[in-house]
Amino acid sequence: MKQALIIGAGISGITAARILAEHGFLVTVLEKREHIGGNVYDYYRDGVLIHKYGPHLFHTNFLKVAEFVQRFAEFFPYEHKVLGEVEGKLVPIPFNFKSIDILFPPEKAKKLKQSLLEEYPNISSVTIMELLKSGKEEIKELANYVYQYVFYGYTRKQWGKPPEEMDPSVMGRVPVRLSYDNRYFTDLFQKMPRFGYTELIKKMAGHNQISIRYSCDALKYLTIEQNNIYWDGELFHGPVIYTGCIEELKGKCFGELPYRSLHFELEDRPVAQAQPVVQINYPNRYSYTRTSEFTLIQPEKKTDHTILVYEYPIPCTKEEIPYYPIETKENRELYEKYKQALAPIKNLYLLGRLAEYQYYNMDITIKQAMDLAERLIGEEANGSSKREQGKEPN
Ligand code: UDP
């Protein structure tokens, strides 16, 4: 029987596990934590579905991904809306024409919107880093304002660095919108699993050829010698998909690869609704970046009690859970060193946010996992037909 080993029972590991299992692989998943789902894990507290590791809003433009996830859960339409506190007012984030209307006098707002449309015809959004490069005085002034009040403080808190030290793609996730579109995401598919991600991932893992070992530190059982992987002392020939921190596979021999972590505080409120929208960002005050009211996501939740979750970014020390790779040039170079050092191990595959050191959204993670599993299935089929013909696999 073809065997595969997967390190990590998060969304990428379990997606790959499911597809491999459906194509005849016997899959063992080793998970360090006591629960499934990695950082998409959620749980009920007083009837409210809390995203334990911060807000996870599902959105995708990949039909393949939307179809795949809907095999395992019922999804309901949900478009995420975010407000940010700027000069004491709550304005839509991504910053858009409505934000301009709220923050500037009517004549000035009209001129700003007109200038933006003239300067950027036929596009729906522009990144703050692009906007800052504008040669038009009026736009530059607006760019400086948005940089100062929306991006600077939030980014300092979130990453411990100013925006210009981050890879431009990080700020690019939240552009400035050249319209009144106040949705956080613009993807075609924006829906949430009705009973949460834990339920969804459990269903995905529910296959008789998948077994999961929890509270299992895989690195205690895996050894790498002369570019071969040994599992429990025995040479393992099948694919090993690793979704943990890449540097741990090499005993951090080139040094620490930095991550950002988060700390959450929950506050019970004896009211039906505490905020006007699910998420409020605080770029300019407090040490938390945002508050989330998950109660508002659940369409059927009717209660006189709600829960607010405060999100505090923190450095990722040994005890903390890594949430985000910190995308800087220096860190990317260090990552590449680890990747190259592992490249000679032919049956090792790096997958997901931590192993690939990429700030992936859930849908990209799932897509990468699907693509990898499909590739492995293809290679296995090729290999076995070659073996049947008496040839060595490539
Ligand atoms: N960001 C910001 N102000 C905001 C929202 C986002 O400066 O009000 C920046 C910040 O650097 C953040 C990045 O944009 O880390 C990406 O934001 P996103 O909402 O995608 O973060 P996530 O939900 O992945 O934590």
CA of residue 303 to ligand 1 center, whole Å: 30
DSSP element (H, E) containing 116? helix 106-119
Sign of CA dihedral 372, 373, 376, 377: negative
pLDDT of residue 199: 98
Question: Which residue, by CA, sits nearest to atom 19 of ligand 1?
Answer: 174
The closest of 107, 169, 159 to 316, measured between CA atoms, is: 159
pLDDT at 113 over 80: yes
CA of residue 60 to ligand 1 center, whole Å: 18
* Span 163-189, average pLDDT: 97
Tell me the two tokens of residue 192: 């949430």
4-26 pLDDT, tens digit each: 999 999 999 999 999 999 999 99
pLDDT at 236 over 80: yes
For residue 359, which atom of ligand 1 is closest to its CA?
24
Question: Which residue, by CA, sits nearest to atom 9 of ligand 1?
Answer: 171
* Span 188-195, average pLDDT: 97
pLDDT of residue 389: 52
pLDDT at 394 over 70: no
CA of residue 55 to ligand 1 center, whole Å: 12
pLDDT at 314 over 60: yes
pLDDT of residue 384: 61
pLDDT at 393 over 90: no
pLDDT at 391 over 70: no
- CA-CA distance, 242 to 9, in Å (whole number)? 10
pLDDT at 371 over 50: yes
Q: Which residue has the higher pLDDT, 104 or 390?
A: 104
pLDDT at 33 over 60: yes
- CA-CA distance, 17 to 342, in Å (whole number)? 22
CA of residue 173 to ligand 1 center, whole Å: 7
Q: Where does the pLDDT of residue 349 fall: very low under 50, low under 70, confident under 90, or very high at 90 and above?
A: very high
pLDDT of residue 32: 97
200-216 pLDDT, tens digit each: 999 999 999 999 999 99
For residue 323, which atom of ligand 1 is closest to its CA?
25
pLDDT of residue 390: 46
89-101 pLDDT, tens digit each: 999 999 999 999 9
CA of residue 126 to ligand 1 center, whole Å: 15
pLDDT of residue 126: 98
CA of residue 291 to ligand 1 center, whole Å: 13
Calculate what percentage of the chain has a pLDDT beyond 90: 93
Q: Where does the pLDDT of residue 1 fall: very low under 50, low under 70, confident under 90, or very high at 90 and above?
A: confident
The closest of 9, 69, 27, 32 to 239, measured between CA atoms, is: 27
Q: Where does the pLDDT of residue 304 fall: very low under 50, low under 70, confident under 90, or very high at 90 and above?
A: confident
Ligand 1, residues at Cβ distance < 6 Å? 84, 93, 150-151, 154-155, 158, 170-171, 173-174, 281, 283
34-75 pLDDT, tens digit each: 999 999 999 999 999 999 999 999 999 999 999 999 999 999
Mean pLDDT (the chain, rounded): 95
Q: In DSSP terms, which residues pair with 280 in a beta bridge? A: 83, 291
Calculate what percentage of the chain has a pLDDT beyond 70: 97
Do 114 and 104 form a contact (C-beta atoms < 8 A)?
Answer: no
Residue 16: Cβ-neighbour burial (10 angstroms; 0-12, 13-18, 19+): buried
* Span 217-242, average pLDDT: 96
Query: Which of 158, 166, 167, 360 most suits a substitution to test ligand 1, by most atoms within 8 Å of the C-beta?
Result: 158
Q: In DSSP terms, which residues pair with 279 in a beta bridge? A: 82, 292
For residue 150, which atom of ligand 1 is closest to its CA?
3
CA of residue 171 to ligand 1 center, whole Å: 7
Question: Which residue, by CA, sits nearest to atom 21 of ligand 1?
Answer: 173
CA of residue 85 to ligand 1 center, whole Å: 14
DSSP element (H, E) containing 7? strand 3-7
The three-state secondary structure class of 104 is coil
Query: Which of 146, 174, 362 most suits a substitution to test ligand 1, by most atoms within 8 Å of the C-beta?
Result: 174
